[in-house]
Homo-oligomer: A and B are copies of this chain.
Amino acid sequence: MSPSTPASAPASCVLHPSARIGAGVAFGEFCVIGANVSLGDGCRIGHHVVIHADTVVGANVRIDDHASLGKLPMRAANSATTKEQELPPLTLGELCIVGTGVVLYRGAAIDGKVLMADLCTVRENVTVGRGTIVGRGVTIENFCTVGRYCKLESECYLCAYSTLEDRVFVAPGVVTSNDNFVGRTQERFKHFKGVTVKKGGRIGAGSVTLPGITIHEDGLVAAGSTVTRDVPARTIVVGGPARAWRAVPVEQLLENQGWVDA
């Protein structure tokens, strides 16, 4: 990375003198770049983008208008899962795309080639693997692990303490949950557990998963289902509550897609 070249930014931008700006970075108007931010070569930054202190952005990342990166968590006295802590800086790998109005928290670690579409949010203490797509309006709450080459389609909701392995597909409007006590008892804090989706598992549009559900390898939840028990590998479940229906068609199994990492 070349030394800071604030000369490349419009006069309307506010770049902290300690920010390290790579070669060929293009800025829109009215951007705010905080202390110790590092932007890799060739990044393209939109208008009104805010990048908070210490954020590390890899090379050739596109960040669209009104995105806010590296935000510090908001603490509320009666929030169940956000604790005081020292968070590491937000990191984004190379070739990521960050949509308009996206909010990324300090304490998230996002690998290369991740697409974060407009108005999505990634909270603190989250990792997102290479090549994953985080759809429009998606929420990834804190303490989640998302694997490589996953697709989280528009408006799905990944609750805190969830784990998605590689090549997981979450369809639009899916809602997950993590609290069997629905906000009551002290006991509940010991049991928070979101959804776990093993490699190649899929959740259909508008489905709801109860707390602590595991969807095993290549398991599939049909659209509109309510999942109250674990989903066996290579099995389609359907309904409310969801019941085993039939095997996943062979041609849909992950091993038969011929996909290679990119």
Contacts and interface: CB of A to CB of B under 8 A. Distances in A.
Interface of A: 10, 12, 14, 28-30, 32, 46-48, 50, 62, 64-66, 68, 71, 74-79, 97, 99-101, 103, 113, 115, 117-119, 121, 131, 133, 136-137, 139, 141, 149, 151, 154-155, 157, 159, 169, 171-173, 175-177, 179, 181-185, 187, 202, 204-206, 208, 210, 220, 223-224, 226, 239-241, 251-254, 257, 262
Contact of A66 (B101, B154, B173, B210): B101
Contact of A74 (B97, B131, B210): B97
Nearest to A131: B78
B47 A32 contact: yes
B133 A136 contact: no
A119 B119 contact: yes
Given A14-B29, A68-B100, A173-B157, A78 B133 contact: yes
Nearest to A185: B251
Given A131-B78, A136-B139, A252-B182, A206 B208 contact: yes
B176 A205 contact: yes
Contact of A12 (B14, B97, B252): B14
10 contacts: A48-B48, A62-B74, A119-B119, A137-B139, A155-B175, A171-B179, A184-B252, A184-B253, A185-B252, A206-B208
A88 to B, nearest CB: 20
Contacts of A78: 131, 133, 149, 151, 262
Contacts of A155: 139, 155, 157, 175
A121 to B, nearest CB: 6
Contacts of A251: 184-185, 187
A254 B121 CA distance: 32
A183 B169 contact: yes
Residue among A50, A79, A202, A210 with most chain B CB within 10 A: A50
Contact of A30 (B48, B133, B205, B239): B48
Contact of A115 (B76, B115, B136, B226): B76
Given A47-B32, A62-B74, A208-B173, A202 B226 contact: no
A206 B175 contact: yes
